[in-house]
Structure 1
Amino acid sequence: MTRSGQQATQRATRFPGYAKIVSVLLVAEFVGTFESAMIFIALPNLMHDFNVDAAAAGWAVTAFLLVAAASAAICGRLGDIYGRKKLLVIVLSISVLGSIISFSFGTLGGVILGRALQGAAGATLPLCLGLARQELPKAKVPHVIALIAGSSFLAGAGGNLIAGVLLQMGNWRSLFIVSGIMGIIAALLVAFLLKPSPTTRTGARGIDYIGGLLFAPAVGLVLYGLTNAGVWGLLDGKTLAFVLGGLAVAAIWCWWELRVENPMINLRLLQTNKMALTQLCTAVLGIGPLVAVGILTPIILLSPATDPAGLGVSPAMGGVIIFSAATLSFIGSPFSGKVAAAVGARRVLLIGIVISFAGYSAMFWADNNLLTFIINTYVISIGVMFSYTAFPNLVAESVPLENTSEGMGINTVTRTIFMAVGATVLTMALASSTVEGTMVSTESAFNTAYIIIAATCVVAFILALRIKDSPRTDAAHPQDSAQLSIPGN
């Protein structure tokens, strides 16, 4: 066989079934995002069926969020060590078990327990992004990473839409039946259609269990305090106790991770300019446009037209508008990947920040009518899509291949924590000025929120300008890394 023929055969063996791989990863990520979004619309049903208040039913959200944040980082690291395919099958299987428990138990405690187990699916994004970088040709990686990240918009909006239809047809248990079936399908597709993943030799030196045990409560305490700050008050003793307690555990965790040879989460990855500034930009935008698009849009759309900022559309119409904006983001995500491949992910991030700033500035100045709001919502969705899809590509440009899922997990945790901060900040801004005698936010309260979001865009833009453009730290193929082997899956 000629040398060119051998190279063609090697490429065909190395990267078989491009469409198959991408489709499987999209299905797996859809499950994780769907399970995250589906419960919000079911909260009123849970409150009615179990005769509890919003705080008690909200644990179905909080339990998922807490476990998902820890799972993203820890399972991302374990995937880098023991194989991303194996870990992806495991977290999907755990999420299926959670769906079964939530469906079967018939108590709020059972639903919360099941939701906590479903939170394992929070690791699907970093694991899928790691698998994309591992399995696909280097030139295709930025496109696919952007596509998978962009699918989160569609899955989130689709989760709300599908959940609404299921709740009208039956009850909240149907949500867990569907999520369980989706999880089983995704796990089987991953198990049988993806190749075994490479493992790193560092796995033989043991796992940093202490780092893993410290990380989970550190993130959990901080997130729990922040997610309840809107109810308790930002400076309430309970809020401060949880947040400061979590930060204290986090400080101990950081000290431990920096002294061990093989840490559970390698904080040394943050020593590079690109990785560190990527996390800072993620944090700042998490407080602003990344979370605002999910909070302000439904409030404005569904609030009565008699409210200062309300448009008074029906829930069905509101769902269609939100889903159409998410679809636009998903359709545009491959273009974001092409831009990242051509000129680097930093420029994609800058484009996203500028578009988001323009969209929210228009919200500040525009007249309060449905057509203008829809146009601005589409602009904002495109801006958020560019920013959101830039982060995983920036991480891929920042870390070696064997640390890909770990790096993606760190970014996911950063985004989750600071979106929780942003939710508190924005809801407090909306509560800062209300119509006399009511809890309805005034137009000035919404303008305050827009100013906060615009300010985060400015800060993030300045930080993004300081990110150094540099080539990828490693090839996108496991065969190109001397530290990788494939003893199993």
Structure 2
Amino acid sequence: MVTKGAESVPGTQPARPSVARDRVLVSALCFVVMTTPVTQTAVVPLLPAMASQLDIDPAAAGWVVTANLLAAAVCTPVLGRLADRCGPRPVLLGTLVLVLLGSVLCIVTEHLPVLVLGRILQGMSFALFPIGVAVLRGRLDPRRLLNAIGLMSGILAVGGGLGMIAAGVIHTEGADFRRVFVLLVGLNLIALVVAWATVPRGDAARSRDGVDAAGVGLMAVGLSAILIALAEGGRWGWASPQTIGVAALGVVVSIWWYLHERRTGAPLVPPMLLSGRRVAGTHLAAFLLGMAMYIQFLGAVQFVQASRADVGYGFDASVLRTSLLVLLPGSVAGVAAASASGPFVHRFRADRVLVAACGIGVAGFAMLALAHSQLWQVVVALVVINVFVSASYAALPALLVDAVPPEFTGVTNGINAIARTFGSSLASALVATLLAAVAVAGTDLASERAFVIAFWAGAAAAGAAGLAIVSAEHFRRKCADRGVRFGAVSVNL
């Protein structure tokens, strides 16, 4: 008999893979997960070029981003649940194949509907992170698991900046926008090969439960309606019957879905994973962190690209200059923070690391709001904010891994990823509304005050995320103390 940690002997197999093999697996999954935000954000600077080259309205071109988020919202928890039930390797590889197909479609087409279809398939890449967490939980001991999740989460957080940097380097004025999709095809293909070679095979099937088709359908309609209202509300008008009607439809159907999940015997998302006391605070924090990340990302990029001669602020930065001089230092700092987060989480607990990171985030946004007349001030503030984002993203899955059984790892992290997506969507709508509403006198150009308000909103979101974790942890301990006092065996999720 070979016990855990014992060396292999002739005729036997070691109980666990070698440390070297685990390190290769972690590195491989970090690369695979990194392709998700790169695929998402690399197209953002290309929207004007897409509208011009495809001869479509800029609002129609915006569906290239919206469709990606809709697919992410629907597919991430579904694929996470499938990974929990069927094993993560086949779901991971299948997802990568579909994402690769989507990137290929974006290269070969000259028609918006096919481009949107490609972006829908690319949106499935959002599920790679929760599936990757499920893979790691099945292979690593607790300490190495925290380190690996921290690194993978941090890479996920800084990948958005890497996507913008890639777009700035590859795309030049007048060039075909498809050049960036060629890069994405290469990344997706490498990720597929790397995953196939490194992700170990698991059990053929973990569950015989059927797919909750009704739950999938209700969730798809509810989440899509809410995201569409957020994406199109600025163009339709936030108080228009169209926006209110679509948002109300999304809320009503989402409530219907939640009630359905409580009644069905094999739910897509067990309600305890959505609103249980050990996970609800983490999901709320994820929503707020998604807001903070996108506020700094969208606000800072548009601020530095503004023409000082026209509006009195900004640095007339090109996409390339923005990518290399403004975003790259923050991305490097984010990777460093991600590498250090795992050991900190192991030593000080995930909730404390997240709260401390949120304090750093508040300071970073305050720096950005108060001092932005020089480019170096903006760069320093973004470095601080990226440390906050990477450390926070690293702590979130560690909290969830500690809170849920292994068979729910994928779907729970999928829900958390969707919470971040909704936060990002709300932040995008908030920034767009602020920049349109608070304009320079006599023009339709955003004023400096609009950006300052946005940056303070980012500070508020970071602070609120920290408070959400403090409150959730206090409530959990209070319930645990009561459980001990009354002789309870365990505390429900």
Q: Within the alignment, does 1:147 sit opposite 2:155 as a pair?
A: no
How many angstroms does 1:13 deviate by?
4.2
Distance in structure 2 (CA, Å) of the matches to 1:286 and 1:179? 23
Distance in structure 2 (CA, Å) of the matches to 1:30 and 1:457? 23
How many angstroms does 1:2 deviate by?
9.2
How many angstroms does 1:394 deviate by?
1.4
**Partner-residue secondary structure (3-state), 1:311:** coil
Aligned to 1:293: 296
Aligned-pair identity (%): 26
Q: 2:33 aligns with which of 29, 33, 48?
A: 29
How many angstroms does 1:455 deviate by?
2.6
| Superposition map of 1:231-270 within 5 A | 231-270=235-274
Aligned to 2:392: 387
Distance in structure 1 (CA, Å) of the matches to 2:424 and 2:253? 21
Aligned to 1:105: 109
Q: Structure 1 stretches of 5 or more lacking a match?
A: 472-489
Q: 2:305 aligns with which of 283, 302, 319?
A: 302
Q: 1:440 aligns with which of 438, 445, 448?
A: 445
Give CA-to-partner distance per residue, 1:399-441, whole Å, 9 cap, x none.
1111111110000111101221122123223333211121222
Distance in structure 1 (CA, Å) of the matches to 2:45 and 2:274? 37
8 A Cα contact 2:29 2:152, kept in partner: yes
Q: After the TM superposition, which of the residue ranges 248-257 and 440-449 deviates more from structure 2?
A: 440-449
| Superposition map of 1:445-464 within 5 A | 445-464=450-469
How many angstroms does 1:64 deviate by?
1.1
**Partner-residue secondary structure (3-state), 1:62:** helix
8 A Cα contact 1:154 1:323, kept in partner: no
Distance in structure 2 (CA, Å) of the matches to 1:218 and 1:19? 40
Q: After the TM superposition, which of the residue ranges 298-307 and 66-75 deviates more from structure 2?
A: 298-307
Please tell me the residue identity of whatever aligns with 1:294: F
Q: Within the alignment, does 1:334 sit opposite 2:336 as a pair?
A: no
Distance in structure 2 (CA, Å) of the matches to 1:427 and 1:44? 16
How many angstroms does 1:219 deviate by?
1.1
Q: Within the alignment, does 1:90 sit opposite 2:94 as a pair?
A: yes
Distance 1:3 1:268, change over 3 A: closer
- Normalising to structure 1: TM-score of the pair? 0.90
**Partner-residue secondary structure (3-state), 1:15:** coil
Q: Structure 2 stretches of 5 or more lacking a match?
A: 478-493
Q: Within the alignment, does 1:208 sit opposite 2:212 as a pair?
A: yes
8 A Cα contact 1:351 1:386, kept in partner: no
Distance in structure 2 (CA, Å) of the matches to 1:227 and 1:348? 33
Aligned to 2:80: 76
Distance in structure 1 (CA, Å) of the matches to 2:328 and 2:216? 37
**Partner-residue secondary structure (3-state), 1:228:** helix
Please tell me the residue identity of whatever aligns with 1:326: S
Which consecutive segments of 4 or more residues in structure 1 shift more than 6 A? 1-5, 7-11
- Normalising to structure 2: TM-score of the pair? 0.89
Aligned to 2:230: 226
Distance in structure 1 (CA, Å) of the matches to 2:321 and 2:437? 29
Please tell me the residue identity of whatever aligns with 1:453: G
**Partner-residue secondary structure (3-state), 1:327:** helix
Please tell me the residue identity of whatever aligns with 2:24: K
**Partner-residue secondary structure (3-state), 1:52:** coil
8 A Cα contact 1:346 1:467, kept in partner: no
Distance in structure 1 (CA, Å) of the matches to 2:189 and 2:438? 47
Distance in structure 2 (CA, Å) of the matches to 1:333 and 1:3? 33
Give CA-to-partner distance per residue, 1:351-390, whole Å, 9 cap, x none.
1110111111222322521122211111111112222222
Q: After the TM superposition, which of the residue ranges 297-306 and 192-201 deviates more from structure 2?
A: 192-201
Aligned to 2:407: 402
Distance 1:425 1:193, change over 3 A: same
Aligned to 1:313: 317
Q: Within the alignment, does 1:121 sit opposite 2:113 as a pair?
A: no
Distance 1:23 1:54, change over 3 A: same
8 A Cα contact 1:308 1:441, kept in partner: no
How many angstroms does 1:322 deviate by?
0.4
Distance 1:322 1:116, change over 3 A: same
8 A Cα contact 2:81 2:268, kept in partner: yes
Task: Supply the RMSD in Å over aligned alpha carbons.
Answer: 2.3
